[in-house]
Amino acid sequence: MKVVVFGSTGYTGSNIVAESRSRGIDTVGVARKAGDGDLAGDATDAAFVAKATEGADVIVSALPTSAPAGTGPELAAALVPLVEAARATGARLGVVGGAGSLRVGGADGIKLVDTPDFPEQVRPIAREHDRALDYLRTVTDVDWFYLSPAAAYGSFNPGERTGTYRVSGDVLLADADGHSEISGVDYAQAFVDEIVTPRHHRERFSVAY
């Protein structure tokens, strides 16, 4: 199996690359400034993406949003070349998602991003992730999955490896005390578990403790 990870030097991308390689999977990292042995290039350059994904079984997007700085392409637009590459090669597409579009309290609940306590500075990022998911849901000829993390996920809360996680769909997972967390390495484990043993096809799922 060959996996190509775009955004491989970021917090989530680097964890996915490490997890994938730890399982003996042929894993290629791609970033604008890649490390040794990886590819350097622009994920929005369709010709570069096509070349980088030759022979890939799974293409991974761990790309950043343009928000909040307002620089670079919107995430939905950045995904287009990856979708086109997956369509051309028959590869599966896995996308690192956000938690903001998850429903709170049940399937009919409001989105996390619309709750009063959601950090205002993070809202543009969350809404951009939501638009990317909306775009993916229009793609019916590529086998994609979109994995949302827990609410308190990120480099600010790296956590530790537990080797366990719970799985949900569009509803935010939280523990008995209302905390919604997952470490970076356990999120990566869940992501690579889905790569190795596909269970979610053309849908979003989510993980947390």
Contact 174, 102 (CB under 8 A): no
Q: Please state, in angstroms and rounded to a whole number, the distance separating the CA atoms of residues 95 and 79.
A: 9
CA distance 190 to 42: 27
Distance CA 192, CA 202 (A): 16
Q: Is the peptide bond before 68 cis (omega within 30 degrees of 0)?
A: yes
pLDDT of residue 35: 76
- Give pLDDT tens digits for 22-42: 999 999 999 998 777 799 999
Q: Are 182 and 162 in contact (CB under 8 A)?
A: no
Query: In the prediction, which pLDDT does 177 show?
Result: 94
Q: Is the pLDDT score of 173 beyond 90?
A: yes
Can you give the residue ranges of every domain in the chain? 2-208
Residue 168: strand pairing partners: 206
- pTM of the entire structure? 0.96
Residues 176 and 37: their CA atoms lie apart, in Å, by 44
What would the mean pLDDT of 89-104 be, rounded to a whole number? 98
The percentage of residues in the chain with a pLDDT greater than 90, rounded to a whole number, is 95
Structure tokens at 17: 């690359």
What's the mean pLDDT in 135-144?
98
Residue type, 130: D
Q: Is the pLDDT of residue 91 over 90?
A: yes
The percentage of the chain sitting over the pLDDT mark of 70, rounded to a whole number, equals: 100
Please identify, in words, the CATH class of the domain defined by 2-208: alpha beta
Per-residue pLDDT reduced to its tens digit, 55-70: 999 999 999 999 998 8
